[in-house]
Each structure stands twice: as structure tokens, then as C-alpha cells.
Amino acid sequence: MEEKRTIHIKGIGHATQAPDQVVLSLTLTAQNKEYSAAMRIGSQQVEMLREAIVEAGFKASDLKTTNFDVRAVYDNEETKDGKSTRYQKVFVGFECRHDLKLTFNLSNDKLNAAVDTIAASLSQPKISIAFTIKNVDAFADKLLKSAAKDAQRKAKILCKASGVKLGKLLSINYSWTEVDVREEMIVCQKYDATSDSSFDFQPEDIKASDTVDFLWEIE
């Protein structure tokens, strides 16, 4: 039986889209020698942060927890013993870390209001901004359609140049990977209330690529 002649093509898809969503990632840390005190301070920080976002025009429920962790913190204490140096673990206290996020449609006015109010809050969170896309599935669909068109175009060119005809499609092989649709930046950890912190954010378009393997029969 004559073996089928085939052509294997890797289609590369590209997609570009302006971001339409903002994700503010906020990290709060509280430290104290007493576990209960560290937890209490951490809870107070979250309450102050909620009050800040409400002041900025959001709902308290818009603030979502992404991670919460309490751990014992140790320091390495250096001691001299003659000519040798020894290090000993010394208990510093408990650290309460709370990671939260605030997600909303991209708007410079809302973003500036959020950053200004949150950064000025006594909770003093570390703030980072991610510009992203709300409908990730639709963006991923664009990538796959682009990859299919790219593979078909390459296959037709190669077949024509080789004097053969492109036959039926035999298989499609695709390994799903998560599409990266975030452009991130660190904003601040300290705030000068006297400064003009208004920014005209112009985030770059989100760009991504993906690959799909196609196998055609050739005649």
C-alpha cells in the first residue's frame, strides 16, 4: 500500500488588542512580636484600605482577597567566638501578609482616583498596576484563527512551489497554553500627599502569539 504524502506546517498566530481593564494588586504587611497583635493590625489595615476605595468611588465588596498568610519571622544574629563567627536564628515576630486586588474597566480618572486615595491611606499598601483584557477567550480565539490562516497560507505556497496540490487536512495538534494578557508596573509604596500624582496612563497594546501544528495530505 502506497504511503500517503503529507506536509506538516506549524501555524503561528498573532493578535493585538488595546487593554480595557485594570487590576490593582495591593499588598499589606503587618508585623508584631505577638501573633494576636499582628492579626489585629492586619485586620485594621484591610478596613482602612476598604474605606479608601469607597472614598475613591468603589464599593467595599470590589476589594477581593487573593492570598493571606501569617508566618514567624527570624533574623540571623552574628556572634563572635574567638576568630570564628557564628550565626543564630533570633525570633523577630509574626508577619501578617494580605494580598488583595481591585479590578475595574480602564479609565484614567478612576485609576488616578484609586491610586491617589489608596496610596494616601494609612494602611500603606504596596501597589502594582496591571493593564489587561476583560474577554480573554475572545482574544485567544483571534490567536487560533490567525494561526490557522498562517498555516494554510504557508501550505499553499509550499505546495505550489513544489508542483503538488494541497489535499485534505489530516490532523491538528494544539497544546493549550495560558495566554499572557497583562502589562504590569509597580506604582508606589510611599506617597507624598503634596505632590501632583495625576498620570495620563497610556498602556501599550497587549500582544501575544501562539502556535498550532497542522498535517495535510498532498496530491
pLDDT 10s digits, 192-205: 544 555 667 788 89
- Tell me: the pLDDT tens digits for 128-168? 999 999 998 999 999 999 999 999 999 999 999 999 999 99
E strand intervals along the chain: 6-17, 21-32, 63-81, 84-105, 126-132, 166-173, 182-188, 206-218
| Pairwise CA distance, residues 49 & 193, whole Å | 17
- Reported as half-sphere exposure (CB side, CA atoms, 13 A), residue 7 has a value of 23
Residue 122: its pLDDT value, please? 87
Domain containing 125 equals 19-132
Which of 9-23, 46-60, 70-84 comes out lowest in average pLDDT? 70-84
Strand order in the sheet with 166-173: 6-17, 206-218, 166-173
pLDDT band at 89 (very low <50, low <70, confident <90, very high): confident
Residues 76 and 31 in one domain: yes
Write down the pLDDT at residue 199: 67
**Same domain? 86 vs 70:** yes
- Whether 204 is covered by a domain: the verdict is no
Characterise 25 by phi-psi region: left (phi > 0), alpha (psi -120 to 50), beta (else). Answer: beta
Q: What is the pLDDT of residue 86?
A: 77
pLDDT category, 3, cuts 50, 70, 90? confident
Task: Based on the fold, state whether residues 46 and 112 are members of the same structural domain.
Answer: yes
23, 13: one domain: no
More confident residue, 184 or 34: 34
Hey, which of 55-69, 106-120, 173-187 has the most confident mean pLDDT? 55-69
In this structure, what CATH number is given to the domain that contains residue 171?
Answer: 3.30.110.170
Whether residue 82 is found in the same domain as residue 186: no
Alpha helix positions (H), the chain: 35-55, 108-120, 136-162
Question: Distance between CA 133 and CA 3 in Å, rounded?
Answer: 47
Predicted confidence at residue 49, as pLDDT, reads 95
Same structural domain for residues 4 and 33? no
CATH of the domain at 108: 3.30.70.2970
In sequence order, what are the residues at sequence separation of 6 or more whose Cβ sits closer than 8 angstroms to the Cβ of residue 109?
none
Q: Are residues 124 and 61 in the same domain?
A: yes
Same domain for 187 and 164, yes or no, is yes
Query: In 3D, which of 70, 74, 7, 12 has the Cα closest to residue 38?
Result: 70
Whether 78 shows a pLDDT value over 90: the answer reads: no
Highest mean pLDDT, choosing among 17-31, 172-186, 192-206: 17-31
Q: Decide if 135 contacts 53 (C-beta within 8 A).
A: no
Tell me which residue of 123, 109, 35 sits closest to 71, measured CA to CA.
35
